[in-house]
Structure 1
Amino acid sequence: MPDPVQQGPKMAKGWRRIVPLFGYGLVLLGCQAGVNEELVATPTPYLVRSPIAPEAQGTPRNGDASLTDALATGEAGLGAGDPAAATAYSEAIVRDPSLVPAFIGRGLVAMGQAQGDPATYQRALDDLNRALSLEPASIPARIGRARVYLDRFRFRGDPTDLDRARTELDVVLAKGPSEEAQLLLVRVHVAAGDLVEARRVLDAPVVRRVNGDSASESERAIARATVALAGRQSAEAVTAAMAALDAAPASIEANRLLAEAHLLDDDPEAALNAADDLLARREDDGPALFLRAAALARLGQSAEAERATALARERLAASPVYLARIAQMSVSLAPAATP
């Protein structure tokens, strides 16, 4: 069965190129329009370990052990998309409304739940903006906003979000080297269709902050997998995605990438297993539902693929990008017209 080719959102003024992204024909566009800064950053006076480890930035006031526990609970569930993480962060915020790491963490949880929903993305940005208003020097909050803009672009396709993401990362990198920001910039370049620049940044030497600003092995592997998928290097994509998942078994992004990589590698059965592994932990994950449908279609299981497609369409109703992909796949699943 031929792969459906996703046409993407309607082309907007200023969009500069079209490239295939990921193994199932997703097409994304990029532009270079300028975006004004909403908040001004200043040099960070404290140690920063990771944009997804906000507890590294500061501690609860008065040494409140319950707040420390709440932050730890939130951090534990953040990477896996556990809704309990948002509850833990909210509890910490109620107890200490000035707790910057809790706002960052809750914002990133909301991003993971959005899957195209504009209101949920706005909630994520509201929390990250609040973190920056409390601590303008917060590098984790800056990188968090870049993550939200990139994720929103991937689901909604507005090219100005890529410029916003680049702006945030430029602010971070202007203050000094950051491996997290550098790796996220790789993914922004891929999303913008600039694979040459993505590879250049990925291969550039990384100068880490003296205080230990280094990305996780999973983040490094995710960047490699993203570049390999965009370059349609199936074996490299599978290897990198598996490395990302080995390093962080609960990573939603790594799991999605692995399913996508197996599809590119023409191994729909492995792609189906990867999608099902994620759905066993996160049953409402829209991209996993879509990838499951794609794998079933490749396997010739049309009836099951149609059911999976319907579930994906329902979950991703707020994502113009995925709805376009689903529409193309639905055409390929439709029975031939009677002569």
Structure 2
Amino acid sequence: MSSAPNGLHQYPIVQAPMAGGGSCPPLAAVVSEAGGLGFLAGGYKTADGMYQEIKRTRGLTRRPFGVNLFVPQTASAASADPAAIEAYRGQLAGEASWYDVSIAPEDTVGTYDDGYEAKLAILLEDPVPVVSFTFGCPPAEVLTALRRAGTRSVVTVTSVEEARTAQAAGADGICVQGIEAGGHQGTHRDDPHTDGTAGVGLLALVGQVREAVALPITAAGGLMRGSQIAAVIAAGAEAAQLGTAFLACPESGADPLHKRALTDPLFPHTELTRAFSGRPARGLVNRFMREHGPYAPAAYPQVHHLTAGLRKAAAAAGDPQGMALWAGQGHRLARPLPAGQLVEVLAAELAEAQRALRMLKLRSAS
């Protein structure tokens, strides 16, 4: 992989694709211009909406950037319990009344593919340097087609088994996501009988995956400082993906309420919850999560659509207690620096940490 064009190894700092607004062309472009690898989030957008963001990013930078896609969850959606979904709709009635909005009726379950095929067709016809996948691994023929188009593929994994699946399918790299990560856990299958808290911490998971597969690893989960990037590289990764760290940047598309909440003493910790989407996702603990998390069914993306209007209304009302405040465990270390400056600071911290490690090895050997 190191000799291939757009090799991922040359970008030790990767800006995570944050669906829902955090990732946007200005952020991705500035990160790439600063020497990192910026990413756009294709999730929750129409195919044309994704393409317009790609064109806008190309107008802001000529450097490589990536696009993330959600692997379709149609089978999981079809197996969700309709009665549980309707019960949760009732659970949310008070929220709808409080924010004076209606909870939209459910659409046909089989349509919940996030426009995946149309988005993939665009990316094959007009390629970008890197495409990553979340919630599953595409079949080998898709990864082969991307490679023929000149695109490097990365599959998000949360276990050794998923990493082996990605390698067998022909992925060019994997993003190893630890339990510390903000937003959705990128598991290939969502076990409806668990809450996602049984996941593995990032350093342990990188070590396990490194011994199991030969693919380049990008490590993700709670990373906020260059010294932490040095740690995951020492553990076997080639790069680190940071989401929450870039969420606070002025170029981020996140709501200002969300940005401020990252370091607000009112939100001291995070938890995994199904409250907002029906799939385990890590966010700042707020009123909505406390009141509705225990009752949320394992039904993605149905629950995401049920709560979409409520979340939008809460943001419009200036109420972070009703928003999905996605954040990793390191959120209190967020720095509201311009994205380009943050990349430079992280790179300097990484270099200093790696120098310290080299000195330690030299002293130990002498």
- Which TM-score applies when normalising by structure 2? 0.29
Bigger share in helix? 1
- Which TM-score applies when normalising by structure 1? 0.31
Bigger share in strand? 2
